[in-house]
Structure 1
Amino acid sequence: MNYKWSLAGWVGIAVILTGCGGESEEEAATESEDGEVVLELFSWRNGETEEFNRINEEFQQEHPNITIDFQPTTAPEYDTALNTQLSTETAADLFFVRPFALGENIYNAGHLEVLDENDIPNIANITESQLGIYQAENEDLYGIPFNYVSYGFLYNEDMFEEFGLEEPETWDEFFEVLEAIENEGVTPLAIGTADDWVVDEIIANGFYSSFVGGEEWREGLIAGEHELTDPEYVDFLENLTNWAPYMPDNMSGIGYIDAMQMFMAENAAIWVTGSWALTDLAGEPIDFTMNMFQAPMAEGEDTRWVSMNGGAAIGINQDSEHVEEAKLFLDWLVSEDAQGLLADLLPGQFPVGDVPVDELEDPVNQKWLEAGGSADENYAVGVGFDVFNSGEPAMSTLHIENIGPLLQGDITPEEAAERMQEGLSSWYEPMQ
Structure 2
Amino acid sequence: YQNRLSTALRGGRGPDIAQLKAYGELQPFIEGGYLDALDDSVTELKNMPDAALGGARGRADGKLYGVPYSVPMMGVFYNEDIFSAQGIEVPKTYKDFVAACEKLKAAGITPIANGGANGSAWELEIGVGVIGPTLYGPGFYDEMMSGKATFEDPRYVAALKRFAELKPYYSDGFAGIDYTTATQQFIGGKAAMFFGGSFENGSFKSQNPKLKFSIFPFPADDASTKLYTSAFSDGSYGLVSESQNKEAATKVLNYMASAEFAQAFADELGWPPARTDVTVKDPVLSKMMEMAKNSTPYLTLVGFRWQTPTASSVLQSEIIDMVEGNVAPEKLAADMQAAVATWFKPKQ
| Cα distance change of structure 1 residues 151 and 128 upon mapping to structure 2, 3 Å threshold | closer
SS in 1 for 2:70: strand
1:369 has 2:289 as partner = yes
| CA apart distance, 1:428 | 2.3
The question of whether the paired residues in 1 share the 8 Å contact of 2:115 and 2:176 is answered with yes
SS in 1 for 2:41: coil
The question of whether the paired residues in 2 share the 8 Å contact of 1:213 and 1:301 is answered with no
SS in 1 for 2:327: coil
- Cross-structure match for 1:6: none
Give the residue type in structure 2 aligned to 1:428: F
**Aligned match for 1:210, one of 134, 142, 154:** 134
1:422 has 2:338 as partner = yes
SS in 2 for 1:278: helix
- How many equivalent pairs are there? 344
SS in 1 for 2:234: strand
Q: State the distance in 2 between where 1:273 and 1:89 align.
A: 38
- Cross-structure match for 1:396: 312
| CA apart distance, 1:303 | 1.4
The question of whether the paired residues in 2 share the 8 Å contact of 1:178 and 1:246 is answered with yes
SS in 1 for 2:64: coil
**Aligned match for 1:382, one of 291, 298, 310:** 298
Q: Which has the higher contact order (CA 8 A, sep 6+)?
A: 2
List gaps (5 residues or longer) in structure 2: none
1:124 has 2:124 as partner = no
| CA apart distance, 1:231 | 1.3
| Cα distance change of structure 1 residues 268 and 400 upon mapping to structure 2, 3 Å threshold | same
SS in 2 for 1:282: helix
| CA apart distance, 1:298 | 4.0
Q: CA RMSD in A?
A: 1.8
- Cross-structure match for 2:214: 291
| CA apart distance, 1:282 | 2.9
More strand by share: 1
| Cα distance change of structure 1 residues 336 and 286 upon mapping to structure 2, 3 Å threshold | closer
Q: State the distance in 1 between where 2:248 and 2:37 align.
A: 15
| CA apart distance, 1:208 | 1.4
Give the residue type in structure 2 aligned to 1:379: S
Give the residue type in structure 1 aligned to 2:323: L
Q: State the distance in 2 between where 1:327 and 1:298 align.
A: 49
Give the residue type in structure 1 aligned to 2:285: N
The question of whether the paired residues in 2 share the 8 Å contact of 1:144 and 1:314 is answered with yes
| Cα distance change of structure 1 residues 288 and 314 upon mapping to structure 2, 3 Å threshold | closer
| Cα distance change of structure 1 residues 390 and 245 upon mapping to structure 2, 3 Å threshold | same
**Aligned match for 1:197, one of 122, 134, 137:** 122
Q: State the distance in 1 between where 2:28 and 2:38 align.
A: 16
Of structures 1 and 2, the larger Rg is shown by 1
The question of whether the paired residues in 1 share the 8 Å contact of 2:300 and 2:311 is answered with yes
- Cross-structure match for 1:187: 110
Q: State the distance in 1 between where 2:171 and 2:89 align.
A: 22
SS in 2 for 1:315: strand
TM-score with structure 1 length normalisation?
Answer: 0.76
| CA apart distance, 1:299 | 4.4
Query: Percent identical across equivalent pairs?
Result: 25
**Aligned match for 1:115, one of 38, 41, 51:** 38
| Cα distance change of structure 1 residues 184 and 311 upon mapping to structure 2, 3 Å threshold | same
The question of whether the paired residues in 1 share the 8 Å contact of 2:57 and 2:63 is answered with yes
The question of whether the paired residues in 1 share the 8 Å contact of 2:20 and 2:236 is answered with yes
| Cα distance change of structure 1 residues 387 and 155 upon mapping to structure 2, 3 Å threshold | closer
SS in 1 for 2:75: strand
**Aligned match for 1:326, one of 237, 243, 249:** 249
| Cα distance change of structure 1 residues 424 and 342 upon mapping to structure 2, 3 Å threshold | same
Q: State the distance in 2 between where 1:364 and 1:145 align.
A: 22
TM-score with structure 2 length normalisation?
Answer: 0.93
Which range is displaced more, 169-178 or 282-291? 282-291
1:336-374: per-residue Cα shift (whole Å, max 9, x none)? 222112111111x21122324xx322111111111122x
| CA apart distance, 1:107 | 0.7
List gaps (5 residues or longer) in structure 1: 1-77
